[in-house]
Amino acid sequence: MLTIFAIAGIPLVAFTITTILVPPLIRLARQEGWVAHPGPRHVHREPTPVVGGLAIIAGLVGALVMSIGVETLDPVLRRSPFEHLRIGLLLLGIALVALISFLDDLYDLPALPRLGVHIVAALIAVGPYAWDHTLYSDALGHPTEARGIILTAFNFPFVNQIHLHNLSPWLAIAATVFWIVGIQNMVNWIDGLDGLAAGVTCIAGMALAIHTLTLDPPQLTVSLLPLALSGACAAFLLYNTHPARIFMGDVGAMTIGYTLGICAIIGGAKLATALLVMGVPLVDMAWLILSRTLHGRSAAQAGRDHLHHRLLDLGLSQRQVVGCYYGLSITFGAIGLFDFFTPLFKLIALLVLAGSIFTVLLLLQPDRKRS
């Protein structure tokens, strides 16, 4: 009973802290002038507070601290030393990402230095594995535990498992950094409509949590991180659903993206589930990088060529576009979770999703003057 209470209580703690902190943060942001003003690339019509991610971070960190305290009450929820190390690395990385992103919200920092900090934060998550490439035995005696947050292996149809650590520890490190930084920027890029980034992240966190809880044996302690993330994002939606009273800003989008990327790695890579539930924004990001590069533009340059902007220009409302993203995330997340869907079926589903989005993006070419 205590275990169930803790698993349900951690997201509730994150939800409560975030809910309580957003209103005073709105007042503080207006007082200090931390607002996003309307512009050609924006869809909002009034100056809106832009650092709401600080409340999300407080809820997430508060819930993680609470989860550490719960360990003393229930032995089932006691983390291993490897997990404690990962929580510490995660908190250090969150602090760095939140700091640079908060400064970016206030002063609009150049893209390249920010990217450098994001890479450093990802390397912080890698931790001691950067020099200690040993895989240690887990509770079942299998050599799966690393001293850090590292993508050591992932499953793939026809090949069963690609073991990056066995191929090269440096390949595993590079893949980890690429994944974390990519998910960070993916979440930031979809933070263009009210409730979009927070909602998709909440759904993805719940899907990853369910994945960990339905494994045999269930990864109870691992599930607490995505549950805390989902709880904080769900609370933020109370104020961020259209019409939004506050935006999360880069401090929110980059930080929850960093955390979400790590959620998909810890406790065994859950990349298939993560790729399916976040398939729409990931394909949109890949298309934007390709399209902008081919047109001689920087991939980091902001514009109105995102999929959600194109759907708005097609005549859909913000709520309709966000609802489409939610529906697709839930549908494909469910495909990733249910075991009766074979790995081949999941791969085909992802390819169909990617092909469909590419087709839509090709048909809905943006007005270059507006992007």
Q: Domain for residue 337, yes or no?
A: no
Q: Specify the residue for token string 């980059």.
A: 254
Strand spans (E) along the chain: 35-36, 48-49, 136-137, 143-145, 153-156, 160-163
Q: Domain for residue 25, yes or no?
A: yes
Residue 206, C-beta contacts closer than 8 angstroms, at least 6 positions apart: 226, 227, 230, 333
Q: Domain for residue 42, yes or no?
A: yes
CA distances from 358 to 63, 247, 287, 306, 354 (A): 38, 28, 7, 12, 6
> According to the model, what pLDDT value does residue 367 have?
54
Alpha carbon 273 to chain centroid, angstroms: 13
Residue 10's domain comprises 2-271
Q: Domain for residue 97, yes or no?
A: yes
Q: Domain for residue 226, yes or no?
A: yes
| Cα–Cα distance for residue pair 298/219, rounded to 1 Å | 41
Q: Domain for residue 357, yes or no?
A: no
Local confidence pLDDT in tens for the 371 residues of the chain? 667 888 889 999 999 999 999 999 999 999 999 998 876 566 766 889 999 999 999 999 999 999 988 888 888 888 889 999 999 999 999 999 999 999 999 998 998 999 999 999 999 999 999 999 999 887 777 788 899 999 988 776 555 678 888 899 999 999 999 999 999 999 999 998 999 999 999 999 999 999 899 887 888 899 999 999 999 999 999 999 999 999 999 999 999 999 999 999 986 657 778 888 888 888 888 888 887 787 777 766 666 778 888 888 888 899 999 999 999 999 988 887 877 777 778 778 878 888 888 787 777 765 544 44
Q: Domain for residue 294, yes or no?
A: no
Q: Domain for residue 335, yes or no?
A: no
Q: CB burial class (10 A; 0-12, 13-18, 19+) of residue 102?
A: buried
> According to the model, what pLDDT value does residue 52 have?
96
Beta bridge partners of 154: 162
pTM of this structure = 0.92
> According to the model, what pLDDT value does residue 158 have?
52
| Cα–Cα distance for residue pair 302/300, rounded to 1 Å | 6
Residue 82, C-beta contacts closer than 8 angstroms, at least 6 positions apart: 136, 145, 146, 147
Number of domains in the chain: 1
DSSP reduced 3-state for 35: strand
Greatest C-alpha distance within the chain: 60
CA distances from 119 to 96, 270, 275 (A): 11, 21, 21
Residue 173, C-beta contacts closer than 8 angstroms, at least 6 positions apart: 123, 126, 129, 130, 150
